[in-house]
Structure formats: structure tokens, C-alpha cells
Amino acid sequence: MVLVRGEAGIGKTALLREFCGAQSRPTRILWSSCDPLFTPRPLGPLLDLARVTSGELQERLDAGARPHDVALALLRELEMPAPSVLVIEDIHWADEATLDVVRLLAGRIESVPTVFLVTYRDDELHRTHPLRLVLGELPSGEVVTRMELTGLSRDAVAVLAEASTIDADELHTRSGGNPFFVTEALAAETERIPATVRDAVLARAARLSSAGRRLLDGVSVVPQRVEVWLLEALAESALDALDECLSSGILRSEVDGVVFRHELARLAIEDTLSPDRALALHRRALQALSEKAIGSPDFARLAHHAEGAGDTEAVLRYAPAAAEQAVSLGSPREAQNQYGRALRFAGGLDPAVRADLLERFGEVGYLTDMRDEAVDALSQAIEIFRSRDEVLRHGDALRLRARLHACAGRVTQARSDLRDAVSVLEHAPAGPELARAYATLAGVSMIEGQLAETMRFGEQALELAQSASDVEALVTSLNNMGVVQLLQADLRGREMLERSLSLALAHGLDQDAGRAYINLAYAHGQLSLWQHADRYVSEGVRFCREHGLEAWLQCLVAIKAESELIQGDWDAAAETATSILAAPPDAVSGPVFDAQRVLGTLRARRGDPDYWPLLDQAKAAAEKVGELDYVGSIAVARAEAAWLEGRSKAVGPETEHAFALALERDAPAYRGSLAVWRWRADLATTTLPEQIDDAYRLQLAGNPESAAELWFERGCSYDGALALALSTDPANLRRALGVLQELGARPAAAIVTRRLRQLGERQLRAGPRRRTRQNPAGLTQRQLEVLALLVQGLRNAEIAERLVVAEKTVDHHVSAILGKLDARTRGEAAAIAARLGLRT
């Protein structure tokens, strides 16, 4: 796979066309591109490829297959003995389903005789762009090559301008060496160098006949290839000017149509259209597309031109259909955009019809990072349903809004909505709506740590779900009740969760399946059964990636970071947590909170700098949410950080509220962990908290050896070492010291070393040998790459650009590098790297 990036007009397409043109038979060239529609077509470039390959890929797409199945069909198409070159241009315009296919294809590209070429504009990737996340997940090494195109040199511009009167140096200065700008300026054949690409394109178009200019106008309103039959409808008897436009170089021919040589040229022409001219052209395109009888209708394309034509009736016909198609193909963001388009034209609709659109917009918002907009839409729908006395719709919309509030950490609002939903629905005949409301209420009770209440509402939901034969409510109920039982160390809960997962998978309830994976991993982690948790994380990550469940995926990745921290794979934990913090922001608060807590804890354990800002941010988030999972886990992290600094007196204030909350709620894990940290700070109570993990119970009972063995058996070596850290037995302390030094836990190792010396122990080893002579500082491979660029004097933003990662990711890497090298500044880090002979 080769990723070719650069600004518009830099020559990405020209490079790929030159490369493909140089291939000899029997190499097959498969070329497609993403379209700059207001809202992208789901799987648009794959639809273009299918027209060429036909076969299984075409069948899958016609059947509305999900990205995973489309990717497998494409891989099978590429398995033929003859090599292929697969091109997808302008991936920055791709929909989510296409990005999923690209991600899946990249992971298996080694298995087929194919060069996979992808182009994108890096100057259009804002910090929340979905492509950034995909680029960060692509494999590194020999599989993926990243190539950046830069402008032409002064000498190259001079060669191109040899036959022109334009000053080559001035042209290079004005254009920055951008090949498209250079060639357009030269083609304009004017002594005045155009100030913009738009001026250059228009100067070139001005030399065409009036028929040629009318033809360009028609093509400009279609942001993709214009088929010949569509061109006839747009050209207004100017089709004879097609040869003139092609020979001018402004347009180029495709297999079954024409396209502008560059998107910049199309935009330049489109921007000159008067409002009435643009309206008329969109109307012609809409009419031609709606009358086309070949193949299935392209709803996204129809909706685009309907909006451009200002045709309210057509927008309301095609935009919802395009949205439903996008949902079925795993592109929820495009679906929400299409519903949003319909709502912009829905002012005159009957309230019942408008409420239906608002509700569907809200439901799709649950799958995207537009949850606040979705809440607003559902609030409008609720008011309409209430005013029309539509009891079932009213109650169900309240449930949907509650679900959005719960995801964003607004649990109080979620509970209020659900109580209102139950109150409304209990006045109607019992059915699926009430069953789902009870099931969702059970889930909110679980978030609040009210486990007994979770079981009560769950059983009510389960009974209703079975009588109403509603699989969704049944799956949700089993999920919630299974978590509660498993958190109480009742392994029958695992069976309920597994059944919930199986039913969700069998009935295509992807969101519920994703939630089952999350809860299976979470509950096993709470029991410190991390090997079981890891299995569910691995399976769940694969499932969520294949089904476009980005928010669910981030929750699982956050559990993965926690598992890596607990089990001692600290480099991996840092990488995983950093990837979450570098991802585009999302309304789901949990993963970012967990990543801040994990990364802050890790830095504190290593003695790296800058851990309190992360722990402070996490504490602020926990106080805003107010629930035990947040409050308890950050209290544990902050207590540990204070203890490692020798500030035991701070442990009490950091844990007091969380400990009281854990005792009040059914929370064995937090009762135990908080009790142990308070015990380490001499704040132990006379009686042990009930229902806590055996490892904590043994520690509090004064049996550190047995507690440590239990931690070591679970693969939790740091916790095992801490269990031994306050022992009075030198053998236990030496064992703890060895584990901590191996992990690189310098503050805890220093505490144990001091205790050993207080006991009269001498000849203590300073620590393990560094990993290799090439890397005596124990830096990860990525940190070595960052250090190499840091040594060159690059700023974090420049390093991020070079490595195609977020600047925040580089910030975390630089912080870790400074900590591992014991450096205070970047310059000092560079000097230490040179002294240690690090291969940067």
C-alpha cells in the first residue's frame, strides 16, 4: 500500500497515471475516486470498481453488504494470478464505510499480488477528520509506504516556462511550485500572472467558444464523472463542443464520460455560475438522474442535485432514502447528514412526518459524534409526540434521548428521561417499548452502581421482552443482568452475557453485540481476570472495526490500555492510551477519561513528568459525571500518585468521597482497592469492608505474601510487588524490588530500597541491564523515531506532520522520552541521546 499525500494540484493524480501507464500487461489497473458531494455516496469508489470487475464484488454491493464483506469480496477479486494496481483517489472525501474497507484491505494487502495506491489532501485533514484515525491505525513497516509530494523546484518551473514570456522566478514564487497552478498560468497565455488558480482557469476557459463554456458550466455542477447520457441533458445543444473542451485540457475523457482535469478547475467554473444558472443545471441533472432506468437509483447523488435545485419535494423523497441506504452500508455519519439535509427542507411538513425524520436523525446520532445535535432533534420529536398524544412514540423517544445522555456521561438526565418514559408507557398496553425502557433503565442503574436496582428493572424488562417476543429488549436485559452477576463473582453472569452476545450476533443487532463485548471485557477486568478480558477485547475490537462502531471500539481500546497497564506491558499501554487521546473528540466521555487516567498513572509509576495534568483532567471529568466508575478509579490513581511522591497524608482527602460511595454502592472492586490505599496511608478501619477481592482482603489482613502470590498468578506483577512493598521481611522486599526495577517503576523501587536500607540491607542492585546496547534508555521504536526528529530540531507540529500522527500524540511521546532520558529540555534529551549512542 502506498499513501500519496499533498495539497490540491500538487500532482498526485499525474504521478499515479504515469505509474499506471508504465505497467505492462498482464497487470490490471483498477481506478476509482471519492466524490466531493455535499454528503458522500456510501461505498462510492467501490461501486465504480464493481462496474469494471462485476462478479462477486458487484453482487455484494447490490445486496447492500457491510464493509467487511465488501472488503473480502474485493480481496478475492485481487487474488487472481495476474498482478493488479488498485487506485482510490481523494480518500479525504470518503464516507465511513469506504474508510472501513480501506482499513480492512490494508490489513490484508500482503496476501494479494496488488499495489494499493491511495491519495489524499493532507491540508484538508482537520483534527477531527475521520481519515486521521484510519491513518493512525494502518500498519507500519514494509506493508505501507507514505509519500509526500512537494512543489516543483525553480529549475523545473523554468523548464516548463521556456516557451513562455512569463518570468519563471516570479511564477515559482507566486505558485509555490504547485504544478497545477504553474500549468494553468502558462496555459492562460497572458503576460499577467494570475493571482489565483481560479483566475488561471477562467483565463483558459475564456478562449473557448460560447458553446464550450456552456458545456463546462454543465459539467461543473456534477462533482464526479459525468456520464455521456447526463452530459447530453446538461449540455443544451452544446455537446458538439466536447472535443474543444477535451483538447483544451480542462476536461479529460473517462471510460463512459468526462471529468474536469482537476477539482480546483471544476470549483473555479462552478463558482462563476449565477444562482439562476446553477439552479437550472441542477434541475436538469436531477431530472436526468431520476429518469435513468439502468440500475438502482443513486439516492445520494439525487439528493445532492435536489438540494442544489432547491426542490423541496425531491429532497424529502431522496435524502431519507439515501440516509437509510447509508445506515445499511455502515456509514452513519453520511446517514445523519442526509437526514439533516431533509430536515432543512422539512419546515412545511406535517408534524408527524417531521417528527419521524427528527427521531431517525436522533437514532443515527447515537452512532456518530454528533450526539448533542441528536439530543436536540429528539427533544423536538418528543414535543411533537406529546402534543399529538402518541404515547408509544413519545415514550420510546424519551428512551432514545436517555441513551444519548448516558453515553455522554449525563446520567442524571438519562434517569429522569427513563422515569418519564416508563411513566408514559405504563399508560399504554405493555409491549416492546416498555420492555426496552425498563432494560435501558436497568443499564443506567448499573452505571450508577445500583446493582440490586439493575437486577429488579432487568427482570421486569426480561419478563416483558419474552412476552412481547422482543429480541432487542431481551438482549439488553441479559447484558445488564449478566454484568451485575459477574461483578459479584457469580460466573453465571458470564453465561448470560455470552447468550446476550450470541442473540445480538444472530439477529444483526450490531450495537448490542458491541456493548456485550465491552461489558464482558469490563466485568472480567473488574474481577482482575485480565486474560479473559483480553480475549473479549480482541474479538470485540475486530467486530467493532468491521461494523463501523467507532464509539464502541474506543471503549474497548480503553479497556485494552488498562489491561496493558495492569499486566506490565507499559510501553503498549502508553501507545494505546495516547492513540485514544490523539483521536478525534467524541461525545462519549469514558474512553478519554480512561486514557487520561491510564497514561497519568503510568507516568507516575515510571517517574516521568507531566502526570498531574492528566490526572487533574480526569478528576474534573469524574466530578462532572459523578458516577462511581469515574470517581472510584481516578481516586485510586491519584492516591497512588500521592503515595509514590511520599505524600501519604494526601491519600485520605483523595479517597474519602469515593470510598464512602463504594461502601454505599455494590462495588467490591472499588471497596477493596480504595481500602488498601487508605490502609497504606494508615487510614485503615477496624473492620474489613464486605465483599472485596481476596487479594485485597489478604493484604488488609496482614498477609502480604499470599496477596502477592494471588496478584502474580493473575499476571498483575506491579500489584504483586506493591503487596510486598510494606513487608518487614527482607526477602519479600528484595523480590518486590526486582519486579519493580524490571518494570521501570522507579518511584516504587525507591520506596522499597529505602525500606531495605532501614532494615540494614546492603549491596542492593541498581536495576536491570538496559534492553540493548542500541537502546539503553528503553525507548519504544516510535519514541526512537520521534527522538530522531527531535534531535534534528523539529517542533512537535512538524514531527506530527512527518510521521502522519496527531500533534497530541507527539506531545505524549516527547514527554515519555524526556522522562526515560531524565532530561529536562529537548536540547538536553538530544545531548543525552548522542552520549548514549542511541541509533536515531
Q: What is the pLDDT of residue 839?
A: 56
Q: Which residue in the block uniquely carries the three cell numbers 503515595?
A: 643
Residue 478 has pLDDT above 60, yes or no: yes
DSSP classification of residue 508: T
* Residue 76 burial by Cβ neighbours in a 10 Å radius (0-12, 13-18, 19+): middle
Minimal CA–CA distance to 695: which of 712, 678, 682? Answer: 712
For the ranges 463-472, 506-515, 587-596, 793-802, the lowest mean pLDDT is seen at: 793-802
pLDDT tier, 115 (very low <50, low <70, confident <90, very high otherwise): very high
Q: What is the pTM of this model?
A: 0.77
Q: What is the pLDDT of residues 308-342, one digit of tens each?
A: 999 999 999 999 999 999 988 878 888 999 999 99
Mean pLDDT computed over 260-276: 87
Burial of 436 (0-12, 13-18, 19+ CB in 10 A): buried
- Cβ-proximal residues to 469 (8 Å cutoff; 6+ apart), any chain: none
Pair 705, 684: CB distance under 8 Å: no
Across the chain, mean pLDDT equals: 88
The pairing of beta strand 251-253 with beta strand 226-227: unpaired
Mean pLDDT over 72-95 rounds to 92
Does residue 244 have a pLDDT over 80? yes
- Please give the share of the chain, as a percent, with pLDDT higher than 70: 94
The three cell numbers of residue 387 are 402534543
Model pLDDT for residues 402-412, shown as the tens digit of each residue: 999 988 888 89
Bridge partners, 251 (sequence order): 260
| 3 state DSSP class of 655 | helix
**CA 629-632-633 angle, 5° bins:** 75
Cβ–Cβ < 8 Å for 305, 289: yes
| Reported confidence tier of residue 773, pLDDT bands at 50, 70, 90 | very low
285 contacts 222 by C-beta, under 8 angstroms: yes
What average pLDDT does the segment 541-561 reach? 89
Residue 643: which of 759, 755, 751, 758 has the closest Cα?
Answer: 751
Residue 58 has which C-alpha cell?
Answer: 458487484
Please name which of 721, 731, 720, 722 lies closest in space to residue 759, comparing C-alpha atoms.
731
Task: Specify the pLDDT at position 771.
Answer: 44
Tell me the pLDDT tens digit for each residue of 140-186. Answer: 667 888 899 988 999 999 999 988 888 888 888 777 788 988 888 88
What is the amino acid identity at position 264? L
Pair 159, 168: CB distance under 8 Å: no
Give me the pLDDT at residue 192, please. 61
For helices 96-108 and 332-344, angle between their N-to-C axes, nearest 10 degrees: 170
Specify the DSSP class assigned to residue 214.
Answer: H
Judge contact between 33 and 92, C-beta under 8 A.
Answer: no
Q: What is the pLDDT of residue 172?
A: 84
Q: Name residues whose C-beta falls within 8 Å of residue 502's C-beta, 6 or more positions apart in sequence.
A: none
Q: SS3 of 28, please?
A: strand
- Largest distance between two CA atoms of the chain: 100
Neighbouring CB atoms inside 10 A of 769's CB total 7
The string of pLDDT tens digits covering residues 363-374 is 988 887 667 889
**How many CB atoms are located within 10 Å of the residue 292 CB?**
15
Listed residue (747, 665, 663, 673) closest to 707, CA to CA = 673
CA triple 752-758-759, angle to 5 deg:
95
DSSP 8-class letter at 239: G
> Could you please report the per-residue DSSP string of 6-44?
--TTSSHHHHHHHHHHTPPTTPEEEEEE----SSPPTTH
In angstroms, rounded to a whole number, what is the distance separating the alpha carbons of residues 337 and 329?
Answer: 15
pLDDT at 686 (0 to 100): 54
pLDDT(769) > 60: no
Answer yes or no: is pLDDT of 379 > 60: yes
Angle at 115 between CA 112 and CA 118, to 5 degrees: 125
Task: Report residue 593: phi and psi, to 5°.
Answer: -55, -50
Of residues 152 and 237, more confidence is placed in 152
Mean pLDDT check: name the lowest of 14-18, 328-332, 708-712, 748-752: 328-332
Region of poorest pLDDT, from 9-23, 207-221, 236-250, 420-434: 236-250
pLDDT for position 772: 41
Phi/psi for 430 (5° steps) reads -60, 135
pLDDT at 712 over 90: yes
Whether the per-residue pLDDT at 809 is higher than 80: the answer is no
- Tell me the C-alpha to C-alpha distance, in Å, between residue 281 and each of 235, 244, 477, 509: 9, 21, 54, 42
Query: How far is residue 675's CA from residue 681's CA, in Å, rounded to a whole number?
Result: 10
pLDDT attached to residue 635:
97
List own/partner pairs for 124-129 with CB under 8 A and 24 or more apart: 124/92, 125/92, 127/584, 127/806, 128/369, 128/584, 128/585, 129/92, 129/584
Rounded distance between C-alpha atoms, residue 24 and residue 21, angstroms:
8
pLDDT at 587: 62
DSSP SS3 for 88: strand
More confident residue, 577 or 189: 577
Single-letter amino acid code for the residue at 186? L
**CA–CA distances in Å: residue 748 to residues 385, 616, 682:** 60, 21, 18
CA distance 669 to 787: 39
Strand 84-89, strand 28-33: pairing? parallel
User: For residue 774, what pLDDT is reported?
Assistant: 47
Confidence of residue 436 (pLDDT cuts 50, 70, 90): very high
First to last CA, the chain: 25
**Segment 68-97 mean pLDDT:** 91
Which is higher by pLDDT, 585 or 474?
474
DSSP state of 449: T
Task: State yes or no: pLDDT of 261 exceeds 90.
Answer: no
| Cell output for 704 | 502480604
Q: Which of 365, 690, 293 is nearest to 551 (CA)?
A: 365
